[in-house]
Amino acid sequence: MKFHPYPVPVAFPESYYTESQNLLDTALASVPGYNTWRKDDPDPFQNIDLRFAAMPILTKEDLRAHFPKGFLYPGNDLEAGLASKNIEFVKTSGTSGEQVTNIWHQKWWNNSEVASWKLNSNAFAIATGSPREAILASPLSVGFKSDHGDLPLEKRLLDRFLFLNDLADPLAWTDTFMDRMIDEINIFRPVRLEANPSLLSKLCRYIAKKHRSVFQPSLIVITYELMSRLHLKHIRAVFNSPVVSSYGTTETGYVFMECEAGKFHQNIDFCRVDFQPLKKEHGGPLIGRILVTVFQNPWTALIRFDVGDLVRIDENQLCSCGRKHGLILSSIEGRTMNLTFTTAGFAITQRMADEVISSIDDLEEYKFVQTGTKTYDLFVVCKTTSFANISQQAQTSLKKLYGQDATITVTQIDAVAPEVSGKYRIISSELEIGEETLFENIQHQKSIQ
């Protein structure tokens, strides 16, 4: 009996299955956090994909409950590793329900990043040496934080990296502060610009408004958030650099990289990806959540970790870039927690909703919230004074997506505020929908003889 973990055939090298089996065997035998998982293993000589599918899902709650030693590989001395600075404790950003403290191993992270560059020709072309990199992100995620935005450039340099933003609240950005960031990009001349798309969009709107010139890096790497089409529009108005989205998490390293053809390829040397599809009425079987198993981290064993994101599997598993091994995605669909629902109760992913809202003319920013089964609030920042036109477009477009019986309330605001994490959550729902309502049980997927 052969088990198929995806709705379409996916090609992997034999080493991928060997790594999967070795990691699972080691974790079940000797990593304390998986003691209760042993009973779920159908047979150590069974098909490895079937064995993985039989395992529970690892959650952030599990990581918190077993921290710090629950997922350590045998033979690792936590105290010695901390004392030697080979590892450190790093807390992720987010609300209390999202935050996790992780054991951070910088060398593993760096190696995972380097491996991901091979999946995009533009990234690979500049991957040698130590290219200068500017980072535009919330200091709550990375970099140096100042409540007053007065850290000089030399205080925000770390090796080859320049952290452009030291203000936790982007609403506090002044014209002077944004001019400083533009000037520093022009002085530093980064080969790569890594950016939170919301923050880069804000800076690009200012650059366009003030007709400033800005240095063009060889590559712009989008991370920290799912990029809106509206963000990309603003970035494209200022930068002609290639723009690529990199997908990963603090816990799992670099998982997918967008190639030059626009599809996302799995970083197979550093992770295994299992898939749990949404039910058919919600977009399955091609849309579902990914469960990531980490390869090559010598300190911790993470198996089938729910990163909290939905993806769309490419139906043909073909890409014009020529890369063949590993899962190929046509898109990252956004956080599971950011699903909204039609008036008939069908799921709408963040990407699907964003495509509709971003097509509205003259928008600068927006925030969309589902407040009830048939009620939705859209808050908009207008580029011009044509709020009446924006409101009418929004009503028409969103009712086509969510249902003609939807009540859409459109409100004009001055700016969209970030979450406490420093990141933006521009699409969300106040409805509480259980996982059992959304997802197929992967253990009940059809096995093919």
Distance, in Å, from the CA atom of 94 to the CA atom of 80, rounded to the nearest integer, reads 29
Are 96 and 203 members of one domain? Answer: no
At 446 the pLDDT is: 33
Residue 376 sits in a domain of what CATH number? 3.30.300.30
Low-confidence ranges of the chain (pLDDT < 50): 96, 444-449
Based on the structure, what is the number of domains in the chain? 3
pTM exceeds 0.85:
yes
Say which CATH number the domain at 239 has: 3.40.50
Same domain, 73 and 153: no
Q: Is the residue at 313 inside a domain? A: yes
Q: Are residues 320 and 440 in the same domain?
A: yes
Supply the pLDDT for residue 128: 82
Classify residue 282: in a domain, yes or no. yes
Does the residue 251 lie in any domain? no
1 assigned to some structural domain? no
Q: Is residue 46 part of a domain?
A: yes
Give the pLDDT of residue 95: 55
- Domain of 40, in residue numbers: 14-112+259-339+436-444
Same domain, 440 and 307: yes
Domain finish residue from 200, 219, 244 = 244
Question: Around Cβ 136, how many Cβ atoms within 10 Å?
Answer: 23
Q: Domain for residue 78, yes or no? A: yes
Specify whether the CB–CB gap between 380 and 412 falls below 8 A. Answer: yes
Do 315 and 440 lie in one domain? The reply is yes
Could you tell me if residue 5 is inside a domain?
Answer: no
Spatial distance between the Cα atoms of 137 and 196, rounded to a whole number of angstroms: 5
| pLDDT tens track for 231-279 | 999 999 999 999 999 999 999 999 999 999 999 999 999 999 999 999 9
The per-residue pLDDT for 76 is 96
Task: Report pLDDT for 449.
Answer: 24
* Same-domain status, 222 and 317: no
328 with 270, same domain: the answer is yes
CB 256 within 8 A of CB 248: yes
325 and 361 together in one domain: no
